[in-house]
């Protein structure tokens, strides 16, 4: 074995290690955008909207029950958990007479066991959001989607969904909807609305009544959920954005449309701790809360994309929690792409999306230009129909749905998702673009998906080709048993990511039957026969497929080079996801880095298989 060959092999493997470090650094940055303690202390909650008799106390998580009881005794109050889910974070509510509130808050602020103590407050829905247009009468609708009332959903066309549906479906990403609940189950007086049948729901929680049934007794939350994930192409009703996501219903607002800061903050933490990758909050208030700000920062730091309505007060200041660092603040547009009369604006607006305007019919379809979805009749869970609502509450779920599509493509860092949404947003057509009104612009779903695919696909392909080169260099030292050529390279390309990470190729061929799987490397192929279980399945994110193919065709000499390349490409794909954990590996515990170990070990196994295929 000559020294130059040995040196070349070491250089190749050195490049692989450098590439892995670069991938991990570039795509898995987790900058903390949360406020520092000085900022938190500077915020105060105004008396308007606050409950004069209740205070919220966020204690240090490691306190014992005895310490909590002693603290209550010292300051003369009884602490009650905000919900049965809030014990781990030691988050309590206490009833205090208005005359004692200031003194109790001051006493608690002086205690080292207490992180935050502040009055509770109530957040509500804006009345404008509940302006419902008459239920439309639908006709036939040809093509995809076949939902007959899709022709009235101008808002989905505005963000480019006809093209986006051909590219992505959400890949089983969990989206938490913090709202009035969702009409997702048949339970007591509640029922699932027809156009949510077939959508997957994960365990949610009712933070208003403190039970496991997050049912909607208002209508707002079901409408919001429909925009994110209405059953699409099912031959009835209307369509939604991310038709293959999972919805986590979290009820934080009552049937009257109001709820406490305590419940909202508790639900944010619950969502972050129970697997949500995107949170939608179509709610808010005009005054800040340190408890709520901390909850948003907590979710962001755990890798959750937090999307919020900017508010409907027509004022030049974004509401809360949308204005907090770590949240994406969404303004509302109408059919002509101007921002709506009710939408808040200001420097904190990040992007804009359709919110509707039921006072006009700009597209001339015979019905007001609201955002149309299937939901229960207002405050009557026994009835449902198709209603058009308007509000930044309707704009926010458009962004949350597109964010889920981005996460489904493998980009899960919240800052990276926000950057993609902003970088791919477009300026309004025939309207003057104003930064404070639109943020970066109106979201563009297909452009966002393509950029997300390009963000990960290029790295995966490059890493796969590097590993293929390193394997080839190592094999040459020992003498090749087969001739390398274009087939070896193509095998590596298919195993790693495919050439279709290029945006112009994605938009052209991804809609062709049987081709969409080739826009990703083999482990990330989504097999329709497995549904959501096909994405991130541990059997595919492994060396199993390369091993099986090599076992079947090792005796066919001309196939050994492409099979070796394929194994090298899969090794690159697995190594990428080991370095940047962007996809949840199903049936694999997340604790102790087991998923990362699984991916790394199988990447090494694929390298061994590739070298085996190339030996004499």
- Catalytic site positions: 179, 220, 393
The answer for residues whose C-beta is within 8 angstroms of residue 266's C-beta and 6 or more apart is 82, 83, 85, 86, 91, 207, 295
Using only C-alpha atoms, the chain has a radius of gyration, in whole angstroms, of 26
Which residues contact residue 171 at a Cβ distance below 8 angstroms, ignoring those fewer than 6 apart? 244, 245, 408, 409, 526, 532, 535, 536
Q: How far apart are CA 266 and CA 264, in angstroms?
A: 5
Contacts of 222 (CB under 8 A, 6+ apart): 180, 181, 182, 183, 184, 193, 196, 216, 373, 374, 375, 376, 384
Task: Please spell the DSSP secondary structure of 228-255, one letter per residue.
Answer: HH---SSSSS---S-TT-EEEEEE-S-T
Query: How many other CB atoms are there within 10 angstroms of residue 544's CB atom?
Result: 16
DSSP 37-50: HHHHHH----STTE
Peptide bond into 145 cis (omega under 30): yes
Nearest to 110 by CA among 71, 137, 150: 71
Sheet of 114-124, strand order = 79-81, 91-95, 50-59, 114-124, 258-260
End-to-end C-alpha distance for the chain, whole angstroms:
15
> How is residue 262 annotated by DSSP?
H
Q: Which candidate, 233, 249, 250, places its Cα nearest to that of 241?
A: 233
> Angle of helix 261-273 relative to helix 290-301, nearest 10 degrees?
10
Cα separation, 532 vs 280, whole angstroms: 21
144 neighbors 164 (Cβ within 8 angstroms):
no
Under 8 Å between Cβ of 235 and 109: no
Which of these, 405, 109, 123, 362, lies nearest to 245 by C-alpha position? 405
Q: How far apart are CA 306 and CA 299, in angstroms?
A: 7
325: closest CA among 300, 356, 343?
300
- Six-digit token pair at 195? 């156009």
């Amino acid at each position: 074995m000559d020294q130059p060959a040995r040196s070349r092999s070491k250089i190749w493997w050195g490049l692989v290690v450098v590439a892995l470090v670069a991938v991990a650094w570039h795509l898995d940055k987790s900058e903390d955008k949360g406020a520092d303690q000085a900022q938190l202390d500077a915020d105060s909650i105004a008396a308007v909207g606050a409950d004069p008799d209740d205070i919220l106390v966020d204690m240090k998580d490691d306190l014992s029950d005895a310490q909590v009881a002693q603290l209550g005794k010292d300051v003369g109050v009884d602490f009650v958990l905000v919900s049965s889910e809030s014990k781990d974070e030691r988050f309590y509510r206490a009833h205090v007479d208005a005359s004692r509130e200031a003194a109790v808050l001051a006493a608690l602020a002086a205690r080292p066991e207490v992180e935050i103590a502040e009055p509770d407050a109530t957040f509500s829905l804006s009345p404008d959001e509940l302006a419902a247009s008459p239920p439309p009468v639908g006709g036939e609708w040809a093509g995809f989607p076949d939902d007959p009332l899709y022709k009235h959903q101008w808002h989905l066309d505005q963000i480019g969904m006809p093209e986006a549906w051909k590219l992505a479906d959400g890949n089983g990403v969990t989206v938490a909807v913090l709202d009035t609940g969702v009409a997702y189950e048949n339970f007591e007086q509640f029922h699932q609305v027809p156009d949510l049948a077939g959508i997957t729901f994960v365990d949610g929680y009712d933070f208003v009544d403190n039970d496991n049934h997050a049912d909607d007794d208002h209508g707002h939350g079901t409408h919001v959920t429909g925009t994110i994930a209405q059953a699409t192409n099912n031959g009835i009703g209307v369509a939604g954005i991310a038709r293959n996501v999972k919805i986590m219903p979290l009820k934080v607002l009552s049937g009257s449309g109001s709820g406490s800061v305590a419940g909202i903050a508790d639900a944010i933490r619950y969502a972050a701790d129970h697997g949500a990758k995107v949170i939608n909050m179509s709610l808010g208030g005009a005054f800040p809360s340190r408890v709520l700000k901390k909850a948003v920062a907590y979710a962001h730091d755990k890798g959750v994309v937090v999307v919020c309505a900017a508010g409907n007060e027509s004022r030049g200041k974004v509401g809360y929690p949308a204005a907090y660092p770590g949240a994406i603040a969404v303004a509302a547009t109408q059919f002509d792409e101007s921002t709506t009369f009710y939408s808040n604006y200001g420097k904190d607006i990040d992007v804009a999306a359709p919110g509707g305007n039921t006072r006009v019919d700009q597209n001339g379809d015979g019905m007001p230009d609201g955002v149309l979805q299937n939901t229960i009749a207002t405050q009557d869970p026994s009835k449902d129909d198709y209603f058009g609502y308007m509000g930044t509450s309707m704009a926010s779920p458009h962004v949350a749905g597109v964010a889920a599509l981005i996460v489904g493509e493998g980009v899960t860092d919240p800052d990276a998702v926000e950057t993609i949404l902003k970088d791919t947003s477009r300026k309004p057509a025939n309207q003057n673009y104003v930064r404070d009104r639109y943020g970066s612009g109106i979201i563009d779903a297909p452009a966002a998906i393509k950029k997300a695919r390009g963000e990960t696909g290029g790295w995966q392909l490059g890493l796969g080709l590097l590993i293929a080169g390193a394997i080839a260099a190592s094999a040459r030292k020992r003498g090749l048993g087969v001739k390398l050529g274009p087939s070896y390279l193509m095998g590596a390309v298919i195993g790693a990511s495919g050439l279709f990470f290029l945006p112009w190729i994605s938009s052209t061929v991804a809609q062709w039957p049987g081709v969409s799987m080739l826009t990703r490397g083999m482990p990330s192929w989504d097999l329709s026969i497995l549904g959501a279980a096909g994405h991130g399945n541990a059997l595919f994110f492994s060396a199993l497929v390369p091993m099986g193919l090599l076992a079947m065709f090792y005796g066919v000499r001309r196939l050994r080079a492409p099979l070796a390349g394929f194994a090298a490409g899969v090794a690159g794909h697995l190594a990428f996801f080991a370095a940047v954990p962007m996809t949840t590996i199903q049936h694999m515990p997340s604790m102790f880095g087991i998923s990362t170990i699984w991916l790394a070990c199988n990447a090494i196994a694929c390298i061994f298989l590739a070298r085996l295929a190339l030996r004499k």
